[in-house]
Structure formats: structure tokens, C-alpha cells
Amino acid sequence: MEVATRAVNTATNLVRMQDYLLDIERRMALLNNRYVDLTTKEFDLLVLFARHRGIALSREQIIRFVWGENYFGSDRAVDDLIRRMRKKMKRLRVETLYGYGYRIIS
């Protein structure tokens, strides 16, 4: 996507998203040069948001990217993941789209 191409520095795999700096290769998120402790799924969701800034993502799309095609659990797992991310990343602006999913505010 155009947004992802513009946002990603391919030489270093660094992505700036809001107040955060993501190092995709090292799977690290930084805020003010401090490491933000994220689970694998939280980081995967952050990467998905970084690649689709301003675009509404359904819970189903998020599940496919974060958990994979063979996930058969509840789509409410996405809500729980977002809740945990918001708690850890208080400056991250994620918009809830009632009855649909989420969108990162760029």
C-alpha cells in the first residue's frame, strides 16, 4: 500500500507511528527511546496498523493477520488485544468502530 511504502524506511525497517518508533526487523517498539514491552500478537497488530493507517480494519481482518487463517476462537479476542495495547501504549490513538473493528488514527 502507498501508506506503508511512505512510512517504512526499508534500509533500516523503522516505522514512525504517532509517538512511537517501530523496528520491524528487531520486533521492538520504542517511546522516547524506551522499549515498550509487547507480546508477539500485540506487536503483530501494531505492524498491521502501521501498514494500514487511517484504514478501517474489521475484527476478521485483524484475526487473519494476527492469529492466522486457522483461528477458530471468538472475535472478542481482538477487543482484548486492543485493550491490552491501549493500557501499555497510552499515547496510541486507536478508534473503535462499533460493530466493525478498529482504525489507527494517523
Per residue, the 3-state secondary structure of 14-53, as one string, reads EEEECCEEEECCCCEEEECCEEECCCHHHHHHHHHHHHCC
Map out the domains of the chain as residue ranges: 2-104
Structure confidence at residue 106 (pLDDT):
75
Q: Average per-residue pLDDT in the chain?
A: 89
pTM of the predicted structure, to 2 decimals: 0.83
**pLDDT tens column, 10-47:** 455 899 989 999 999 999 999 999 999 999 999 999 99
Q: C-alpha grid cell for residue 77?
A: 479476542
Q: Which CATH architecture has domain 2-104?
A: Orthogonal Bundle (1.10)
Average pLDDT over residues 46-74: 95
